[in-house]
Amino acid sequence: MTRSTRKLKFRAETRKVLDIVINSLYSHPDIFLRELISNASDALDKLRFRMLTDPELDRDRELRIDVVPDREAGTLTVRDNGIGMTGDEMARELGIIAGSGTRGFLEKLSSEGERSAPELIGQFGVGFYSAFMVADMVEVLSRRSGSEQQGNRWTSTGHDTFTVKEEEEVPEGTSVILHLKEDMDEYLDSWRLRELVRKYSDFIAYPVYVSTEEGEDREKEPVNSQKPIWTRPEEEVTDEEYAEFYRHLSYDPGEPLSRMVFHAEGTTEFYSLLYIPSSRTIEMLMPDYRTGVRLFIRKVLIEEEADELLPRYLRFVKGVVESSDLPLNISRETLQENRTVRVIRKALTGRVIGRLEEMMGQDRERYGRFFDNFGDLLKEGVYSDEQNRERLADLLLVRTSGKGDRRIGLREFIEELPEGSDRVYYLTGTDWRELSNSPYLESAGGEEVLLFDSPVDEFMLQVLGEYRGRKLVPLSSEVAEEELTEAEKAEKKHAEETFAGLLEYVKDQLGDRVAAVRFSPRLRENPCILVSDRGDPGEMMRRVMRSLNQEMPETRRILELNPGHPVIVRLQELFEVDRSGQRLKDGVRILYDLGTVIAGGRPENPAEFARMVAGLLT
């Protein structure tokens, strides 16, 4: 029988990845074994899952991984009896089309630098190419499990081309054969291989056997513990083992900020091992970012990114959940409605929030680092999770007008407030430093004000209208009559009587630009401010919506004037002398544009605004 042989070229992107792997990771050669064993484990996961629905597959065979050194031949083989590949799949996955993973790897590498490459290769599914760090030539023998077709041999030296050739008598599964470079003979020592398996792959759910020499009897006992790390008692697992498993899950080379080991028993039993990362990627903040929690059912990996197990605002959490109470044939659609999944979700959510509460109370510095990375996601939770809203709000760190750059817990701030008031003022903007000097602070009457400077804050505050018995009131809105002191009410009444004609004139000149013109007894240093009706969206909310290409209906604001400011006094003088003069009209327009700038906006017509200001100065 004629065996077909195809000689193919690596795609340009794949060629570039190969160059980076071979030339940039020379100081991390050990990771090749981690990556090949991880790929073998994935192949076994896929076969085990397929066994659920395909009765033709042999369900009784031991699913295993073998690491076989052959000193005489100078080869190291990593073999699994997993799902296997067809010839077309080998060409596609190992050469012509390395998939979006290759592009993602290159993009990430360009932004993070080559030092991040050891972890990124696993994250983007290009770990196979790490074999070329230690091998002059790599061969892959594979046959699709359950297939009657012949097997195939993929061969490459890691340069421009590779071949795929049909082979007879290839066992089901995949064997990766590395023809080691001369200076890489340490990977022919079985003790060294066992050391690496225990270091990097001890948590793999399948037995990993290391042979002494090709042809000799294989060891009877697997090198790895094989028992999933998440089902082992916490006291039996070292911190380093937990940290290594975290790195395996997250592709983060650092240490996790915190871990949670949880075994729930009772009507619903499950194991979980969750991690809170110590750093974030920008992708984690994106709404479509998939969670990093894997779901196992009776040791079978069902879903790599089980979004149903945690609410979206906890998508930064990494980990594993295993349950025996779910059916193996459950679909993603069914997962969302499953009662057991809802129970697990509620328990895990409570655990994560509880750990954050513990961290906030016991180690504020460490919690501050967490909040720097993921505080906006907690605010997203305040907005979306009504059931846990108050607990999540308790976890917020805030800045205030009276504490400089020192952050304080929102709950602590509320509890420190003096008795006698049922409200707290807040300001929103883009920078807390600017907010701490905002003219609006005058309207607070000396009270300490909360400063929020994240785009998420406006959305959160829409639903957090009241917190622990205090109303949260935007300082950029109109001060209610009942919030004024008796002296302030008297001052306001006197100003309205004294300047009644000017108020009416200003309103006529501005027309529909404003809803009303009033005097504020709280302004001292600034001539005016623009305020909104309570409940109207603030300027920050409008900016956010504009950035999302979503316009909001315009609402007219109220222009509040400071009757004691020299500008207002001067306008009153002009009004009494010549109420039809251009100088008075320009003064009113300047006043309105000034209020717009103070509110964080821009003048209607910047050129006209500049002309009018210049006119006042000449």
pLDDT for residue 60: 76
Half-sphere exposure of 606 (CA within 13 A, CB side): 3
Whether 8 is covered by a domain: the verdict is: no
Whether 363 is covered by a domain: the verdict is: no
Name the helix (H) or strand (E) containing 565.
none
Q: Is 258 in the same domain as 347?
A: yes
Q: Tens digit of pLDDT for each residue in 107-146? A: 655 555 554 444 444 444 567 888 998 999 999 999 998 8
pLDDT for residue 122: 47
Q: Is 546 in the same domain as 593?
A: yes
Closest CA to 409 of 423, 393, 424: 393
Query: Does the pLDDT of residue 348 top 80, yes or no?
Result: yes
Whether 129 is covered by a domain: the verdict is: yes
Q: Is 459 in the same domain as 503?
A: no
Q: Tens digit of pLDDT for each residue in 521-530? A: 888 888 998 8
Q: pLDDT tier at 174 (50, 70, 90 boundaries)?
A: very high
Q: Is 256 in the same domain as 189?
A: no
| Sheet containing 514-519: order of strands | 514-519, 557-561, 528-531
Q: Is 489 in the same domain as 517?
A: yes
Query: Does the pLDDT of residue 511 top 50, yes or no?
Result: yes
Closest CA to 307 of 281, 346, 336, 283: 336
Whether 596 is covered by a domain: the verdict is: yes
pLDDT for residue 147: 79
Q: pLDDT tier at 97 (50, 70, 90 boundaries)?
A: very low
CA distance 378 to 389: 10
Whether 507 is covered by a domain: the verdict is: yes
CA distance 172 to 43: 11
Least-confidence region, from 183-192, 289-298, 458-467, 566-575: 289-298
Half-sphere exposure of 110 (CA within 13 A, CB side): 8
Last residue of a domain, one of 210, 237, 268: 210
Q: Is 103 in the same domain as 194?
A: yes
Q: Is 200 in the same domain as 241?
A: no
Domain that holds residue 313: 229-358
Task: Give the pairing of strands 318-323 and 292-297.
Answer: parallel
Overall number of domains in the chain: 4
Q: Is 347 in the same domain as 241?
A: yes
Q: pLDDT tier at 98 (50, 70, 90 boundaries)?
A: very low
Stretch 192-212: mean pLDDT, rounded? 88
Give Cα 441 distance to the centre of its chain: 34
Whether 223 is covered by a domain: the verdict is: no
Closest CA to 483 of 446, 517, 435, 530: 446
Q: Tens digit of pLDDT for each residue in 387-434? A: 999 999 999 999 999 888 899 999 999 999 888 778 899 998 888 998
Q: Is 72 in the same domain as 203?
A: yes
Whether 564 is covered by a domain: the verdict is: yes
Look at 215 and 578; give whichever has higher pLDDT: 578
Q: Is 427 in the same domain as 468?
A: yes
Inter-axis angle of helices 486-498 and 500-510, nearest 10: 80
Q: pLDDT tier at 549 (50, 70, 90 boundaries)?
A: low
Any idea what the CATH number is for the domain that residue 536 is in? 1.20.120.790
Query: Does the pLDDT of residue 534 top 70, yes or no?
Result: no
Query: Does the pLDDT of residue 215 top 60, yes or no?
Result: no
3-state secondary structure 482-522: HHCCHHHHHHHHHHHHHCHHHHHHHHHHHHHHEEEEEECCC
Any idea what the CATH number is for the domain that residue 194 is in? 3.30.565.10
Q: Is 469 in the same domain as 447?
A: yes
Q: Tens digit of pLDDT for each residue in 224-263? A: 877 888 999 999 999 998 998 898 888 787 899 999 999 9
> φ and ψ at 602, to 5 degrees?
-135, 155
Closest CA to 85 of 7, 154, 11: 154
Q: Is 507 in the same domain as 556?
A: yes
Look at 148 and 187; give whichever has higher pLDDT: 187
